[in-house]
Structure 1
């Protein structure tokens, strides 16, 4: 067997590095607006949101480098994009930013506990996929409607963003959300300069927030955030790696991301987890023809996240000077594919469709009962409806 030519080996390594950089750029730009909207919705001011984004980038970047090098497989970490959308839906339900930070820390503990105790992992797996995805779809729906509302309120501001997203989506779907994000930054800059609200971004003041354990925040934010992160990020992330022929290091990953979330919570990190959609890039032949070498693509993605981290404050400052609804519009466009997948999964089982629709509508309603947000009640109502319908069907069949 002949050894690969040096030029061929160099080209493959270059391809691996490029794939890793693209993975991080797509992951960052396609969901940056979602995370920013989520942190702001739960009470973070611009400086706190900027520090939260920097912390998330550092945690997922360093974690990706460590896991990929340690296990020699293309493990890629990310922030919880569905979890950030949940934060938007839970706006006003937590008792301020410290309570939200406390919910983030508890979410991290639950993620770590899932890695330690198999029974807790089985508990998550026991939640019907249809109901978990229905809850997620209900959480995403109001945010995905944001571009529609913004188009009617400020058409000249939002129309260029939507138009670019649509054109790029037709040509290269992977780059549609990043392209819309870049256009939104340009619009924010132009509008801010015209209004005199845009200034040269400075460094944010770094202040850590002491977590506060609030019962309503734990039920309405921490528990749904854990479920959404596990069901929509960690479990699909494992499946993506398995489809590519890799076994995810489950316990080390859950412990690293869980305790990383706990440590990052005072700085505003809501959840770190396995990447789902972008995880397919480093694990594919596009990264390297040799599966044993694809871990280098994930490592390159991790280093790229570390390079992107210092840019977050400037991006937050730029977006903060833009018109209202712009960030939410970009976030809604970025989540359309996720919403479509969640809707499809929610109605996939005919026996669960009514229960799933109940959960979806309740989650989308945004109602607050006893201070607890709609995501928690959506799951409760969906489970009760599913149990009642199945019991009724069993009696009729007896």
Structure 2
């Protein structure tokens, strides 16, 4: 009978990698998610419900997909999508209308997975415009760290310094360390929320789809989720030799995203950065064993979801600008990547700049947010350029 130790060691490596991926994914961006819900008009209880629903959905579905396909398929919430919500502002009609937009975004992801022509049409949207729109959305929240240092240096400056030092010496832990320092400072200066009030619970909410929010929030959320999360997530898996069929994954994540809109949650998708922790050789030398890492990440996301109520209550009791500063630090890398990709092609650079400027301006017409108008403005200029060259 073979000894148990080698077998346990073989399982320990991918399990540790999966737990690390879940912790890093959660700690690096939960503040962004909660900030997005708050900007959409959610109460602390609704925000906690949305965060918990996301953790449970992506954890359980990621576990199921990994077990079924024997591939390291890690799911995560759309951090750029959450940043889009944080930068858009509360729609007229409040959080129910926002949840209607979440429902629309989920159904669009479902359609992209089931109907190939629609999926190809979405893929045909120039990456420069999609990234410019994302950069315009991210700009406002990425200014928050500097604004916080100016407004509350005693609280914000230590957070920024810890983030910078960890970025230099241990980049993977830069944002979690900033979150930890923020929690410490808040704990020293703010009453800790009651654990009874923060007990985990899901809150049912009836989404109210409206045209303006569907076009101004739902459509940009769908585009950002597809272009900035699902496509890179597939690229990460493909780079490690895993080739899952994208259609069924998009269809099931879209369907579940639509369902959890009734619990106050927005879309989730394939993970990219945390997927690299589970799909690469650091998870296990044998690619056939790396699905265990993704399964472990799914299980631990469920565990983290049980703390969503406390996280939301803690954030609600904190200075809003300080939480925005942490969210901004978490998104600086995404802003840099989006700007680089947006400006990469010289011919599309002006159209991308127009998209970026229009989105960042906060322009709102007919109840439709700036992200849509930025994409429309840049696309129109690009179309005029193509006509001129014909």
Q: Which range, TM-score by smaller chain?
A: over 0.9
Match of 1:64 in 2: 62
1:8 Cα deviation after fit? 3.8
Match of 1:12 in 2: 10
Q: Helix, strand or coil: the match of 1:281?
A: helix
Q: Helix, strand or coil: the match of 2:49?
A: helix
Matches within 5 A, 1:1-398: 7-193=5-191, 198-200=193-195, 202=197, 203=199, 206-392=202-388, 394=389
Q: Helix, strand or coil: the match of 2:348?
A: helix
Structure 1 spans left out of the alignment, 5+ residues:
none
> Quick check: 1:201–1:318 contact (8 Å CA) kept in 2?
no
How has the CA–CA distance of structure 1 residues 205 and 238 changed in structure 2, closer, same or farther, with 3 Å as cutoff? closer
1:118-147, Cα deviation, whole Å (9 max, x unpaired): 011111111000000000000001010011
1:201 Cα deviation after fit? 5.2
Per the normalisation by structure 1, the TM-score is 0.95
> Quick check: 2:233–2:270 contact (8 Å CA) kept in 1?
yes
Give the number of aligned pairs.
389
- Counterpart-to-counterpart distance in 1, 2:357 and 2:63: 40
1:6 Cα deviation after fit? 5.6
> Quick check: 1:42–1:94 contact (8 Å CA) kept in 2?
no
- Counterpart-to-counterpart distance in 2, 1:199 and 1:295: 38
1:279 Cα deviation after fit? 0.7
How has the CA–CA distance of structure 1 residues 94 and 282 changed in structure 2, closer, same or farther, with 3 Å as cutoff? farther
> Quick check: 2:60–2:302 contact (8 Å CA) kept in 1?
yes
Per the normalisation by structure 2, the TM-score is 0.97
> Quick check: 1:95–1:214 contact (8 Å CA) kept in 2?
no
> Quick check: 2:101–2:214 contact (8 Å CA) kept in 1?
yes
- Counterpart-to-counterpart distance in 1, 2:26 and 2:9: 26
- Counterpart-to-counterpart distance in 1, 2:194 and 2:8: 44
- Counterpart-to-counterpart distance in 2, 1:237 and 1:325: 31
1:94 Cα deviation after fit? 4.5
1:327 Cα deviation after fit? 1.2
- Counterpart-to-counterpart distance in 2, 1:124 and 1:365: 25
Q: Helix, strand or coil: the match of 2:279?
A: coil
1:12 Cα deviation after fit? 2.4
- Counterpart-to-counterpart distance in 2, 1:282 and 1:372: 39
How has the CA–CA distance of structure 1 residues 162 and 386 changed in structure 2, closer, same or farther, with 3 Å as cutoff? same
1:318 Cα deviation after fit? 1.3
Structure 2 spans left out of the alignment, 5+ residues:
none
- Counterpart-to-counterpart distance in 2, 1:209 and 1:58: 17
